[in-house]
Chain A
Amino acid sequence: MYKYILKRLLLAIPTLFGAAVLVFLLLRMVPGDVCEVRLAGSGLYADPAEIELCREQLGLNEPMLAQFWAFISGYFTWDLGNSMWTGKPITYEIGLRFQLSLQVAIMATLVAIAIAIPLGIISAVKQDTWIDYVVRAFSIAGIAIPSFWLGIMIILGLLISTQYFFGDPWMPPIDYVSPFEDPWRNMSQLIWPAVATGYRYSAVATRMTRSALLEVLREDYVRTARSKGLMERVIINRHALKNALLPVVTIIAIEFAFLIGGLVVTEQVFNLNGLGKLFVEAVDAQDFNLTQQLVMLVVLIFVLTNLVVDIFYAWLDPRIRYS
């Protein structure tokens, strides 16, 4: 087992390195850089000497290989560098927003689980009835509705309904407070993006629950349980569900890894100062350092989540052994 984990960790290195090369090259293919955006961004005249000085200071005039080495060597010295736009350390910029994004991601996952598993079970048990069709339509709609539009609709719904019932339109608070400081205020801000993202995210998990459960319900041991005269409820809960949930766990975890990236659009709608918004800002300002580190963070989360899922899988299902 330890050997397997070690092997997987080693295999992650080429993936991370490849991602680093890809993002590094992609960014440098862009015409212009952060100095041009900063000094001449709004169409103003900029002194070429000043731009040159700025590039010199940020190390943008160094040869490509030297810049790449500076990027990679940062991981060995635990120094991720500074944002080219604000000049503050990247760890500071990310740390400021990580908590918010992580909280929304976790809440969205909980919303997704709360929707997906009950609906998936109902859909499988009542296969090919109208209930099944309604659930399936509901979950496909979850993939079809753009989460940013759902966000706009939620805000609109809140405005209209609070206006109607209380006479005063109410909007979720804009500024973030830690849930440990003021849990009520924190929730009233973050529950809406969590619902908008969670519904979308539940769609795949609902379908996975349904299909996995349908497959398990055809197994011999379920027939045995039925022929023993067990109640259907017991068969589903005790015999079928435990085995059916394995692939569901996987899909939920993998989607969680992608959620950090998926928040890019939702954070824009709800005006949340999270990692997704930071990413869009970094791309806009052509802040190479910050964009690189954010992409690497997302890729790292993805790789690690995959590893954890595989290990968790073996723990849940003793039949699986890794060699």
Chain B
Amino acid sequence: MSTPQATIEFEDIELPKKPFLARLWDLSKRQPLGAFGLIVVIGMVLMAVFANVVSPYHPERADFVNMLAAPNADYWLGTDAFGRDILTRIIYGARTALFVGFACAFVGATGGLVLGVASAFFGGIFDLIVQRIVDVIMAFPLIILALAVVATLGTGTENVIIAITIPFIPQCARVVRSNALAIREIPYVDAARALGFSDTRIILRHMVPNVMAPYLIMLTAFVGQAILLEASLSYLGMGVQEPTPAWGLMLQGGAEEFAESAPWVPIFPGLAITLAVFGFNLFGDAVRDLLDPKLRNR
């Protein structure tokens, strides 16, 4: 007597294929804050890419007749102490912010990924040394370390990126390492080793793909942090330098002096920073929820 076998024809199960917009709508119902963040991020990227199309003026064009002009029909958000259009400089500032944000986040998280996985995989003395270095770097407040690096390398966009990236690497390395340590104990890594695979292959093909979730979570969290840190450094005069349009820089110097007579000078760039970091943080939270259901309620 043969037992009837329950078979499931996989082809029969039609996964509902929804159009992109409908899926986006679903997402926004499950993650309303995340969807809002995504919109802000997309808006900012578009603004940065098409800065020369959407902005009304050239970012360095100074109109000496209209210095510190209040918002009006010609200058929607007013002008700064040099008569430069604030709206234009905010739009171009998005380029600087995004460039610094993505560069720091990508290099910092990837450096941490490599270091974290290697540290977990090799263990022993290598792990010990790497972890002590991580301890040392993490004992510095972010801004202090970044300031020290800027003092060493000098100001300017590239150096700011390096200064922000250095503290990111150990942060990501620590998180990735703890995840990778758990993965190293799973039998398939032993199996891979028993098959004679090289260390490089095991690390790249077997371990790295399994720590992608924490890597992406750190990466998205870093973008907002980097934008904020760049603004802080530029505000202190130790970041991006004039005449490059950058939000933190727009708040430096004049902004405070003119705060009372020309409040639009400090208000709008600050709003831009806040909205951008807010958007990236909300988006990052949603990414974390989707990638790591265990953390969903955190």
Measured in the bound complex, the distance between the Cα atoms of B135 and A149 in whole Å is 31
> Which residues from B are CB-within-8-Å of A225?
none
Interface residue from A19, A145, A260 paired with B274 (Cβ < 8 Å) = A145
Contact of A156 among B139, B151, B260 (CB under 8 A): B260
B141→A298 contact, CB < 8 A: yes
- Chain A residues with Cβ below 8 Å from B220 are none
Which A-chain residue is minimally distant from B272 (CB atoms)? A149
Q: How far is the CA of A144 from the CA of B221 in the complex (A)?
A: 12
Asked if A52 lies at the interface with its beta carbon under 8 angstroms from chain B, I say no
- Mostly, the B contact residues are helix
Residues of B within 8 A of A236 (CB): none
Residues of A within 8 A of B2 (CB): none
Which partner residue on chain A sits nearest B277 by CB separation? A144
Compute how far the CA of A283 lies from the CA of B148 in the bound complex, rounded to whole angstroms.
7
User: What's the nearest-Cβ distance from chain B to residue A147, in Å?
Assistant: 8
- Contact of B260 (CB < 8 Å), options: A27, A137, A159, A291: A159
| Pick from A19, A140, A148, A291: contact of B282, CB under 8 Å | A140
Cβ of B140 and Cβ of A30 under 8 Å apart? no
The listed residue (A155, A291, A298) touching B140 by CB distance below 8 A is A298
Given that A140-B285, A159-B259, A299-B140 are contacting pairs, would A146 and B274 also be in contact in the complex, using a CB cutoff of 8 Å? yes
Q: Is the CB of B135 within 8 A of A27?
A: no
- Bound-complex Cα distance A149 to B29 (A): 33
The CA of A19 and the CA of B263, in the complex, are separated in Å by 42
Q: Evaluate contact between B33 and A264: CB separation under 8 angstroms.
A: no
Residue A231 lies at the interface, judged by CB distance under 8 Å to chain B = no
Stretch in contact with the other chain, from B9-17, B87-95, B198-206, B231-239? B231-239
Determine how close the nearest CB of chain A comes to the CB of B234; give it in whole angstroms.
10
Which residues of A are found within 8 Å of B267, using beta-carbon distances? 153, 156
User: B147: which of A143, A260, A279 is its contact (CB, 8 Å)?
Assistant: A279
Q: Are A15 and B135 in contact (CB under 8 A)?
A: yes
**A19 near B136 (CB under 8 angstroms)?**
yes
Q: Are A15 and B251 in contact (CB under 8 A)?
A: no
Tell whether A133 pairs with B33 under 8 Å between CB atoms, given A26-B148, A146-B232, A155-B259: yes
Binary per-residue interface labels of chain A (151-182) against chain B in the complex, 1 for a CB within 8 Å, 0 otherwise: 01101100110000000010000000000000
How long is the Cα–Cα vector from A26 to B146 in the complex, in angstroms? 11
Residues of A within 8 A of B18 (CB): none
B232 and A265 contacting across the interface, CB-CB below 8 Å = yes
B260 closest partner in A (C-beta): A159
A207, closest chain B residue (CB): B298
Closest to A31 in B: B154
Complex Cα–Cα for A298 and B137 (A): 12
> Do B149 and A18 touch across chains, with their CB atoms under 8 A apart?
no
A260 and B141: CB pair below 8 A?
yes
Main DSSP-derived SS at the A contact region: helix
Tell me whether A143 and B277 are in contact (CB under 8 A). yes
B3 within 8 A of A: no
Q: What 0/1 pattern do residues 292 to 322 of A give for CB contact below 8 A with B? A: 0001001100110000000000000000000
In the complex, residue of chain B having the shortest beta-carbon distance to the beta carbon of A151: B256
Chain A 90-131, CB-CB to B under 8 Å as 1, else 0, gives 000000000000000000000000000000000000010000
Considering the chains assembled together, what is the distance between the CA atoms of A266 and B32 in angstroms? 33
Which residues does chain B contribute within 8 Å of A23, judged by CB atoms?
Answer: 148
Q: Check if A156 sits within 8 Å of B259, measured CB to CB.
A: yes
- Flag if B235 contacts A148 (CB, 8 Å): yes
Min CB distance A42 to B, Å, is 16
How far apart are the CA atoms of A291 and B236 in the complex, in Å? 17
Query: A136 at the A/B interface (Cβ < 8 Å)?
Result: yes
Residues of A within 8 A of B148 (CB): 23, 26-27, 283, 291, 295
Q: Is the CB of A26 within 8 A of B149?
A: yes
Indicate which residue in A14, A146, A286 contacts B231 across the interface (CB closer than 8 Å).
A146
B45 at interface (Cβ–Cβ under 8 A)? no
Chain B hits for A30, CB < 8 A: 151-152
Contact A262 B136 (CB under 8 A): no
**B143:A261 contact, CB within 8 angstroms:** yes
Q: Is A141 an interface residue when CB atoms closer than 8 A count as contact? A: yes
Residue B99 CB within 8 A of the other chain = no
Additional 20 contacts, C-beta under 8 A, given A30-B151, A291-B148: A18-B132, A18-B135, A26-B149, A29-B152, A140-B33, A140-B285, A141-B274, A144-B224, A145-B277, A146-B235, A146-B277, A148-B235, A148-B251, A149-B269, A155-B259, A169-B260, A215-B297, A261-B142, A265-B235, A283-B148
Mark A residues whose CB is within 8 Å of B: 14-15, 18-19, 22-23, 26-27, 29-30, 127, 133, 136-137, 140-141, 143-146, 148-149, 152-153, 155-156, 159-160, 169, 207, 210-211, 214-215, 258, 260-262, 264-265, 268-269, 279-280, 283, 286, 291, 295, 298-299, 302-303
Instruction: Identify the 5 closest CB pairs spanning chains A and B, nearest first.
Output: A261-B141, A149-B270, A18-B136, A144-B278, A144-B277
What are 8 pairs between A and B in contact, CB < 8 Å?
A27-B148, A140-B278, A156-B260, A214-B298, A261-B144, A286-B151, A299-B139, A299-B140
